[in-house]
Amino acid sequence: MSHTSRAVIWATPVFVGASSHYDLLILGSGSTAFAAATRAKDLGKTAVMVEERTLGGTCVNRGCLPSKNLIAAAKLVYDMRHPRYSGLTPVEAPVNFPALIAQKDEVIAGYREQHYTSLLADDTQAAQRPNPTQVVTGRATLIDPHAAEVTAADGSVRRLTGRQALIATGSHAVIPDLPGLSETPYLTSDLLTSQEAAELTELPESLVIIGGGYIALELGQFFARMGAQVTILERSGRILKDYEPEVSSALTQVLRDEGIQALTRATVVSVRGDERQVSVTADVRGQRQELSAAKLLVATGRAPNTGDLGLERVGVQLDERGAVIVDEELRTSAPHIWAAGDVIGGQTESQMATPVGARDGGIAASNALTGAHQRVNHRVIPRAIFTDPQVGVVGLTDREANAAGIVCICNSVPLSAVPRAGATRDTRGMVKLVLEAATRRVVGTSMVGADAAEVIQIAAMAMRFNATADDLIDQLFVYPTMAEALKIAAISFTRDVWTLSCCAS
């Protein structure tokens, strides 16, 4: 499979009413775009989305949904082979990889139908439904602040106009400039896609992954648990370099315990190979190494989809990373044009995450169509990495708090101090709190552990309402739960948590 084999699947069905003029012209059809279109409909306005690829965008088709489906399957396989309890016999679980991919495609198709296609109006319904939301398939190029030309798969061109426009085109995998890469077959996260040429339907025997971020780790552990030999190459000194060092350390140990070779301070020098085998030459901590595998996965981050949209023509300014520059109301530098979701990158302290885009899409539509002047608030954005154990983070790291001028105090606790972790015989991980020293207000939380993606929601709510460590201590937590880790971490600032009675009292 090569980077040149990408196929375009046109979003289906194509819904186009008699009118080509709308209140809101939206480029994209992912979670951000749908949130905006839904808000427009609620406001009694008309909206049209333009989608080049598959209806629903990245999350449902080749991102969040398929990855979590497959990761959960891999956990079942791993737990059967490695039961944590004495008295349970390991069971070998044969994996039919093509069948696993087929069920993933079924899940995607069903979800896309329920949460995307069913919300649209076709030609026969458009006249009957008030303010129908429609989608046009093709590549859109803005030709003025109110109009776009859409080129369909057959080469035909259609002109759409809108009183207001929203850029919600999402992001794509970053491809580094490496010697030999353009001539070498490689995979990206698009391997998770459904019914496209980029979809990986056969399990590779081995895999080299360039990158040490969340995509590299989630997919690396997935393939390793399916039976592939996996090597991860991270250029910096640790995986998840922007997370707390304790998070990186805990997860590195987990991956290595599972047989994954995680090499840090590894700079890729060149790559070469064909469909049968690839070779990566890298300098690993000053030593030249040659690494071979059946497949190469490039997972070096994501970048906004802003190329070839005609943004310069209509006066939409981009930052140095190619993200659309917006103000706190998500207005761009061009009249009548707004932007939200991954396409704005880190503007207004945003993060590339599906729920952020979904919320901001609605805000952008309200501001565009009613002049609501609502400002986005990206202070509290919980994030999760769906490795096993999971990673959950919200707010600032220790380093970020110091850089922001916050005098902070920090403490971390191993999950072996959490009763639930001991009861379920899975004490891998830790939890860390970052507090403002003067007030003990929680400004950041990081956790590695079972159900961390769920627990971090509590920390996010605490941050939203400016809760302190004392608020966490005073809160009653169900016993025994992983959420109790937050209370134990809060107690650790003033007491020895190893001397607590049950229920962290």
Q: For residue 121, what pLDDT is reported?
A: 61
Q: Tens of pLDDT along the chain (505 residues)?
A: 333 333 333 344 344 444 589 999 999 999 999 999 999 999 999 999 999 999 999 999 999 999 999 999 999 999 999 999 999 999 999 999 999 999 999 999 999 998 888 878 654 555 455 667 899 999 999 999 899 999 999 999 999 999 999 999 999 999 999 999 999 999 999 999 998 999 999 999 999 999 999 999 999 999 999 999 999 999 999 999 999 999 999 999 999 999 999 999 999 999 999 999 999 999 999 999 999 999 999 999 999 999 999 999 999 999 999 999 999 999 999 999 999 999 999 999 999 999 999 999 999 999 999 999 999 999 999 999 999 999 999 999 999 999 999 999 999 999 999 999 999 999 999 999 999 999 999 999 999 999 999 999 999 999 999 999 999 999 999 999 999 999 999 999 999 999 988 877 7
- Whole-number Å distance between alpha carbons of 267 and 210: 9
Annotate 113-164 with three-state secondary structure: HHHCHHHCCCHHHHCCCCCCEEEEECEEEEEECCEEEEECCCCCEEEEEEEE
3-state secondary structure at position 328: coil
Q: For residue 503, what pLDDT is reported?
A: 79
- Whole-number Å distance between alpha carbons of 401 and 406: 5
Q: For residue 368, what pLDDT is reported?
A: 98
In a domain, 275, yes or no: yes
Same domain, 309 and 194: no
In a domain, 124, yes or no: no
Pairing of strands 408-414, 430-436: antiparallel
In a domain, 51, yes or no: yes
Same domain, 202 and 143: no
Contact 246, 432 (CB under 8 A): yes
Number of domains in the chain: 3
Chain centroid to CA 461: 20
Annotate 408-465 with three-state secondary structure: EEEEEEEHHHCHHHHHCCCCCCEEEEEEECCCCEEEEEEEEECCHHHHHHHHHHHHHC
What's the CATH code of the domain at 451?
A: 3.30.390.30
The secondary structure of 373-410 as a DSSP string is -PPP--S---EEE-SSSEEEEEE--HHHHHHTT--EEE
Same domain, 200 and 316: no
> What token pair was written down for 71?
């990761």
- Of 252, 264, 277, 286, the closest CA to residue 210 belongs to 264
In a domain, 377, yes or no: no
Where in the sequence is the domain holding 397, given as residue range(s)? 383-504
DSSP 8-state code for residue 309: S
